[in-house]
């Protein structure tokens, strides 16, 4: 795991500029650094040594004649098989790294190389002879890649903050991203919060040649369920495939550990991985916010040591600016801070951890996936539900009212992902500025169009795999682990596992429980059965435990005077008045404190942006 930076060389101080850009992301790779600069290109690399940890693994790495050069961030788990195949074709290797496999693989296969890879990656290859720059991002978006055209320069990197040191970089806020963010709690399109800076989307590559820039997709999820197998048979297939993925994800020349909460995903990873150490964080002593006791019990049952940390409110609130600095863009997911602390705890003991991200999106784990046909109310004719929903929309926001609003709409109309913070109407109420941001449904429509003929559960999974997973889950996983110079690997996000999951029937992903009333659903049904098979008998309750993740008591803290005052000060600040109608957002805060409404997520979304803006624009 590493960090990469680079730019087309049209400036006079390329050596110093590249060095400054690399220093900005030193946290991604504190073990070594390397540069390549010629009259056309400047490439920089910061290394966290995991495979072939000696100097031979330092980057950039070249082909035999030095005309192909690469900087690479990530891990290729099938690199040994690919290397043998390339050797048989006549390629000569100088190192034992997975990086060099990419160099020779590009020589041999060109862009078709991407279809042969198993791993997480973000890399750029410079072909001196063709004067061509080729860059790619992995299938799910585990590793980030940003790019920008400014002045005469094309710049790219693992983190936007590295661009700040380039003389052609112009720092401007993209206000459209702000309005989109208020709904999604992250930036949901290829645009970023910095004007003219973009993300390379997951499963895409770019080619830059003769100032012509082309971006193309190279892979996509394709749900096409197969009938004929029982759920138990699917569970057996999941078990076999997951064991294989975990073995691949443990390839390293350093020790590997595992994160552990009380949920099935991380417990399954920890049990199968057979690592020596697990890591957990929590808040206080309330079991709603502290999973440490379960994690220690589980670790003891599988014979492993567990390191844990209780995060104090002072620690949490005191590190928010640092979190948003490392995030590059505001992310209003409170669990990102908890993730930072568990990464920090693990980084004191080792360099690599396994984690359970991706299981919910792939196997159907979110509670909202049981919503399409979850109640008797859904039996009413669609026209009646839609009429009631229109009436309910005019009433004040409350949980019961929102139920009728939601049930009156199609999944394409109501679902934008796991977070829906402000509606388009509500975000315009609190915003003072006007932007060109589209309605959320304009953003989600292209994804829904690709699965128009699928059931609602599959539609929601497909959207989450393309938006929520990369925009929230994997963003915080990469940025919080790299902030602590820690490599985080996600064995659920494997092409072989996805290939299997695409075939699993919907009723084996989300099913109605036969043991309770008809409105009770089991999510990740087949995967839970697989996990139950592979975890110790005394911890089998994990397979049916409600998903918590890293629960954070934000709604409680915002009612305490100390933290209420911190947020109110931010809401009434000069920065806030640039963007928001302060009376409206202060009312959200006051109503929450007074118990009139749970506005915690809305408050946190606005507050997080203000923290981020202060870090990058003050």
Residue positions annotated with a catalytic role: 2
C-beta separation of 270 from 298 below 8 A: yes
| Closest C-alpha to 490, from 282, 287, 202 | 202
Strand order in the sheet with 153-157: 32-37, 41-47, 2-8, 153-157, 146-150, 197-199
C-beta separation of 541 from 535 below 8 A: no
Helix, strand, coil shares, percent, the chain, to 5: 45, 15, 35
Burial readout 145-154 (b: 16 or more C-beta within 10 A, e: otherwise): bbbbbbeebb
Cα separation, 127 vs 436, whole angstroms:
39
Task: Say how far residue 251 (Cα) sits from the centre of its chain.
Answer: 22
DSSP code of residue 472 = I
* Ranges of H-type helices in 115-218: 175-184
Report the length, in residues, of the chain.
618
Cα separation, 175 vs 500, whole angstroms:
41
Cα separation, 94 vs 98, whole angstroms:
11
DSSP letter for each residue of 250-311: T--SS-EEEE--SSHHHHHHHHHHT-SEEEEEE-SS-TTTB-HHHHHHHHHHTT-EEEEEEP
DSSP code of residue 517 = -
Please classify residue 191 by burial: count the beta carbons closer than 10 Å to its beta carbon, then call 0-12 exposed, 13-18 middle and 19+ buried: middle
- Six token digits for residue 497: 């596992």
Cα separation, 379 vs 225, whole angstroms:
25
Cα separation, 555 vs 603, whole angstroms:
9
Cα separation, 11 vs 9, whole angstroms:
6
| Closest C-alpha to 99, from 115, 79, 85, 84 | 79
Task: Please list, in sequence order, all residues whose beta carbon lies within 8 angstroms of the beta carbon of residue 270, skipping any fewer than 6 positions away.
Answer: 258, 259, 260, 278, 298, 299, 302, 304, 354
Q: Phi, psi (5° rounding) for residue 132?
A: -125, 135
Answer whether the bond into residue 60 is a cis peptide, omega within 30°. yes
| Closest C-alpha to 63, from 121, 128, 155 | 128
């Amino acid at each position: 795991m590493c960090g990469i930076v680079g730019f087309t060389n049209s400036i006079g101080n390329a050596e110093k500029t590249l060095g400054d850009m690399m220093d900005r992301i030193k946290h991604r790779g504190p073990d070594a650094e390397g540069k390549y600069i010629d009259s056309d290109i400047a490439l920089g690399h910061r290394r966290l040594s995991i495979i072939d940890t000696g100097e031979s693994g330092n980057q950039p790495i070249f082909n035999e004649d030095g005309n192909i050069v690469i900087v690479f961030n990530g891990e290729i788990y099938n690199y040994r098989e690919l290397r043998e195949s390339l050797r048989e074709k006549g390629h000569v290797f100088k190192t034992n790294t997975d990086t060099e496999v990419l160099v020779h693989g590009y020589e041999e296969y060109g862009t078709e190389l991407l279809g042969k890879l198993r791993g997480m990656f973000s890399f750029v290859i410079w072909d001196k002879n063709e004067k061509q720059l080729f860059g790619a991002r992995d299938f799910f978006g585990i590793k980030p890649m940003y790019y920008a055209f400014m002045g005469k320069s094309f710049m790219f990197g693992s983190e936007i903050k590295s661009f700040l040191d380039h003389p052609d970089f112009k720092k401007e806020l993209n206000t459209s991203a702000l309005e989109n963010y208020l709904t999604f709690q992250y930036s949901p399109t290829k645009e970023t919060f910095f004007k003219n800076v973009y993300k390379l989307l997951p499963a895409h590559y770019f080619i830059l040649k003769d100032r012509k820039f082309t971006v193309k997709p190279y892979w996509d999820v394709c749900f096409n369920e197969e009938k004929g197998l029982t759920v138990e048979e699917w569970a057996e297939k999941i078990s076999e495939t997951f064991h294989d993925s975990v073995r691949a994800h443990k390839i390293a020349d350093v020790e590997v550990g595992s994160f552990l909460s009380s949920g099935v995903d991380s417990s399954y990873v920890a049990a199968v991985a057979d690592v020596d150490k697990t890591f957990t964080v929590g808040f206080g002593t309330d079991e709603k916010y502290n999973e440490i006791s379960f994690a220690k019990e589980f670790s003891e049952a599988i014979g492993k040591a567990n390191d844990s940390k209780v995060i104090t409110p002072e620690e949490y609130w005191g590190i928010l600016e640092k979190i948003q600095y490392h995030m590059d863009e505001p992310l209003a997911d409170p669990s990102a801070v908890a993730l930072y602390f568990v990464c920090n705890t693990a980084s004191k003991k080792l360099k690599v951890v396994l984690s359970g991200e991706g299981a919910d999106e792939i196997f159907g784990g979110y509670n909202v996936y049981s919503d399409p046909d979850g109640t008797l109310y859904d039996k009413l004719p669609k026209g009646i539900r839609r009429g009631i929903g229109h009436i309910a929309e005019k009433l004040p926001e409350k949980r019961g009212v929102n139920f009728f609003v939601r049930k009156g709409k199609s999944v394409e109309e109501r679902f934008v992902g796991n977070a829906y913070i402000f509606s388009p109407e509500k975000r315009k109420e609190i915003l003072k500025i006007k932007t060109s941001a589209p309605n959320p449904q304009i953003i989600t429509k292209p994804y829904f169009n690709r699965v128009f003929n699928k059931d609602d559960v599959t539609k929601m999974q497909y959207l989450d795999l393309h938006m929520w997973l990369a925009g929230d889950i994997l963003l915080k996983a990469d940025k919080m682990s790299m902030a602590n110079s820690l490599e985080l690997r996600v064995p659920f996000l494997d092409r072989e596992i996805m290939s299997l999951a695409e075939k699993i029937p919907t009723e084996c992903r989300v099913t109605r429980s036969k043991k309770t009333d008809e409105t009770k659903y089991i999510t990740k049904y087949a995967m839970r059965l697989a996990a139950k098979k592979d975890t110790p008998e005394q911890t089998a309750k994990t397979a049916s435990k409600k998903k918590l993740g890293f629960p954070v008591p934000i709604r409680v803290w915002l009612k305490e005077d100390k933290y209420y005052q911190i947020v109110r000060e931010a809401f009434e600040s000069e920065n806030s008045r640039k963007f928001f109608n302060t009376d409206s957002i202060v009312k959200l805060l006051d109503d929450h404190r007074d118990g009139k409404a749970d506005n915690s997520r809305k408050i946190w979304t606005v507050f997080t942006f203000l923290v981020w803006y202060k870090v990058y624009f003050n």
